[in-house]
Amino acid sequence: MHLIIGLGNPGTKYENTRHNLGFKVIDELALRLNIKKFKSRCRSNVAETKIDDHKIILAQPQTFMNNSGEALAELFSWYKINPSKLILIYDDVDLEVGQIRIRNKGGAGGHHGAESILKYAKSSEFARVRIGIGKEEKIETADYVLLKIPFSQSEDLAASATKAAEAVELIIKSNLEAAMNKFNT
């Protein structure tokens, strides 16, 4: 069983912001897997399904970004999942808009949501799918990530959410290395 968590912030105020790309990837996966409804569990919106013969849980923590690990801990406990079966999806200001990067371990790189996940996972060895949002030197990072996605970036970021969903499916169907080889260009 795999737990696939997309990071974001709950509520309409944060819809269509760069910081909610993790949620967008979960929405894209739900669409691809014909999931019509999520349920509330462990302070997250969750849906259970399969990719091929692999059971998966899609989750969007509703604890706000910086406390995502609290929901993760509850999900780990409820579903009895090992951290090695986690796939974490989140935005990254250190990648250009539209790029995605897949890794099998590492630090948070200054991303507070990832920091919270690392704290509660008690492991750094799990898959991460990071989506590039770029950065604007004139705007503080905390403000930049919460800005609405501008029209000029909407197509690139939508395409990267689709690529990230494809990468997650490949991780499940094949393995992490295959996804890294295909998408880390």
Q: Is 19 a catalytic residue?
A: yes
Which of 73, 69, 87 minimizes the C-alpha distance to 2?
87
Q: Which residue has the tokens 């790309």?
A: 21
Q: Which residue has the tokens 């919460």?
A: 146
- What SS3 string covers 117-129? HHHHHCCCCCEEE
Q: Are 131 and 100 in contact (CB under 8 A)?
A: yes
Task: Cite the beta strand spans of the chain per DSSP E.
Answer: 2-6, 39-41, 44-51, 54-61, 86-92, 100-103, 127-132
Return the number of other C-beta atoms located less than 10 Å from residue 53's C-beta: 7
Q: Which of 2, 19, 54, 112 is catalytic?
A: 19
Burial class for 38, CB neighbours closer than 10 Å (0-12, 13-18, 19+): middle
Q: Give the active site residues.
A: 19
